Amino acid sequence: MINTDFFITPDNWSFAGIILSVLTIVAYLLFLKTKTSQKAYFIVTVILLYVSFGSPIALLRDYGLHSLTMLQHIVLLMIAPILFLKSIPSNTILFSEKFKLNILQQPKNYFLMFWWLSAVMMWGGHFLSAGILSAETGTAICGITATKDSWITAIPESLILSLLFIAGILFALPVFNPVKSKRLAPLKSVIYLFTACVSCSLLGLYVAFSASTDTLNSSLTAFTTLRSPVPLTLRADQELAGMLMWVPGCILYVLASVSILLSWYEENPVEKSETAIHTAK
């Protein structure tokens, strides 16, 4: 049974986190002029960040739940960055002409680099998280084992999570750039997202199907089950992790692709240039 007390206990909800979130939202609302939808996106982003960093869900990690790490990773790597980019007004200093950093100015030209960078960071982040998890709980995660005092434990988990969030933003930049003209062409975006899906699927599949191996059978099967507020056997936990990474992750990108295409079908360059002239006047 899921222990609901764990989620209700106020001690498990980071108070500082709430203050920080509220302040961020207030600052956003005060200083940036945005559409209502963008405000909503921003608030959801902040809430997601809070949930992954400061809520009991973040604490669950201490019980060695691999699936939970994966959930955090999906939120930080895939969902929050897209919402975040959608909430940023296109005239922000970071994306305006004044900011003379070529990579941010023309993310289109660097999309391969962004892809590889974020793919490496994604795999690396998962690997490190799995290592830390293994070091803390003494179980093998997908064949990755680390001892209690290995160097891996010196890396703070929140650092990895923050890096993942940044990687997510970098990955989403060529497709969801706040400035429309700097985005990849629609069909290229779909291919960009699809290839990411493939890489995601492979890792997800590996994680899910390596759950049945002997390394897991020989480890303490009941270890996480007994203490954790969300009791899962090691095998179910790991399969859940793999499937989470694969199915909702891919569906998210499928939805993104479909929404990009839906607006593309009605696109008319003549009309577009006419309106551009119109606004220029």
Partner 1 sequence: MKDKGKLLMLLMIGSETFFFIALIIGYVYYRNFTEATDTVAQHLDAVRAGIFTLFLIASSGTLMISKRALNKENFKGFNIFLLLSIVLGIVFITGQVTEYIGLYQEQITLSKDVFGSSFFTLTGFHGFHVILGVLALLILLIMSLGKLRRVSIAGFGGVEVYWHFVDVVWLFVFYFVYITPLL
Partner 2 sequence: MSLFINIQEGEDQLPEVTSDKGRLLWISSVDHKQLGIMYLWLALFFFIIGGLEAMLIRAQLAVGDNDLISPEFYNQLFTMHGTTMIFLVLMPALIGLATYLIPLMIGANEMAFPRLNAFSFWMTCLGGFLMYFSFFAGGAPDAGWFNYAPLSESNYSSTQGVDYYLVGLILTGMGSIGAGLNFVTTILTLRSPDIKLNMLPLFAWMIFINGFLILAAFPLLNAGLFMMLIDRQFDAHFFIPSSGGSAILWQHFFWSFGHPEVYILALPAFGIISEVIPVFSRNKIFGYKFVAASTVAIALLAFGVWVHHMFAVGMTNTVNGFFAASSMLIGIPTGVKVINWIGTLYKGSIRMTVSMMFAVAFLIDFTIGGLSGASFAIVPIDWQLTDTYYVVAHIHYVFLGGTAFGIFAGIYYWFPKISGRFLSEKLGKWHLWLFVIGFNFTFLVQHVLGILGMPRRIYTYPSRFGSWEIFNMISTLGAVMMFVAIAVFLWNLFITLKKPRTAPKNPWEAWTLEWATNSPPDLKNFEEVPRVHSRRPLWDLANPDNPDKRLN
H or E stretch at 252: helix 234-265
Using CB under 8 A as the binding rule, the residues of this chain from 144 to 163 that contact partner 2 are: none
Answer for which of 10, 181, 266, 276 binds partner 2 (CB under 8 A) is: 266
Please calculate the CA angle 38-40-44 and round it to the nearest 5 degrees.
Answer: 115
- The SS3 call for residue 141 is strand
- Count of residues that bind partner 1 according to CB under 8 A: 8
Distance separating alpha carbons of residues 48 and 78, to the nearest angstrom? 11
Looking up tokens 């303490």 gives: 220
Q: Looking at this protein, which amino acid is placed at residue 213?
A: T
- What is the rounded CA–CA span in Å between residue 99 and residue 96? 6
In the list 91, 195, 251, 274, the residue contacting partner 2 (rule: CB under 8 A) is 251
258 lines the binding site for partner 1 (CB under 8 A): no
Q: By CB under 8 A, is residue 214 in contact with partner 1?
A: yes
**52 close to 68: Cβ distance less than 8 angstroms:** no
Site for partner 2 in 184-223 (CB under 8 A): 187, 190, 194, 197, 201, 208, 211
According to the binding rule CB under 8 A, does residue 123 interact with partner 2? no
DSSP assignments along 185-231, one per residue = PHHHHHHHHHHHHHHHHHHHHHHHHGGGSHHHHHS-TTHHHHH-SS-
What would you measure as the largest C-alpha separation in the chain, in angstroms? 73
Instruction: Give the x-and-dash track for 112-151 against partner 1 (CB under 8 A).
Output: -------------------------------x--------
Considering the complex, what minimum distance in angstroms separates the CB of residue 67 from partner 2? 9
Using CB distances below 5 to 8 A depending on partner kind, what does residue 265 bind out of partner 1, partner 2, none? partner 2
From 32, 47, 236, 252, residue interacting with partner 2 (rule: CB under 8 A)? 236
Per CB under 8 A, which region of 27-35, 46-54, 133-141, 209-217 contacts partner 1? 209-217
Nearer to partner 1, 26 or 187 (CB): 187
Interatomic CA distance for residues 92 and 88, integer angstroms: 7
Instruction: Report what 190 binds from partner 2, partner 1, none; CB cut-off 5-8 Å by kind.
Output: partner 2
Q: Does 218 bind partner 1 (CB under 8 A)?
A: no
* CA atoms lying within 13 Å on the CB side of residue 259: 9
Closest separation in Å from C-beta 266 to partner 1: 24
Q: Which residue in 124, 131, 5, 21 sits closest to 80, CA to CA? A: 21
Shortest distance in whole angstroms from residue 131 CB to partner 1: 13
Which CA distances in Å does 218 have to 145, 214, 223? 13, 6, 12
Query: Which residue ranges make up the site for partner 2 (CB under 8 A)?
Result: 187, 190, 194, 197, 201, 208, 211, 235-236, 239-240, 243, 246-247, 250-251, 253-254, 257-258, 261-262, 264-271
Query: Which residue ranges make up the site for partner 1 (CB under 8 A)?
Result: 143, 202, 206, 209-210, 212-214
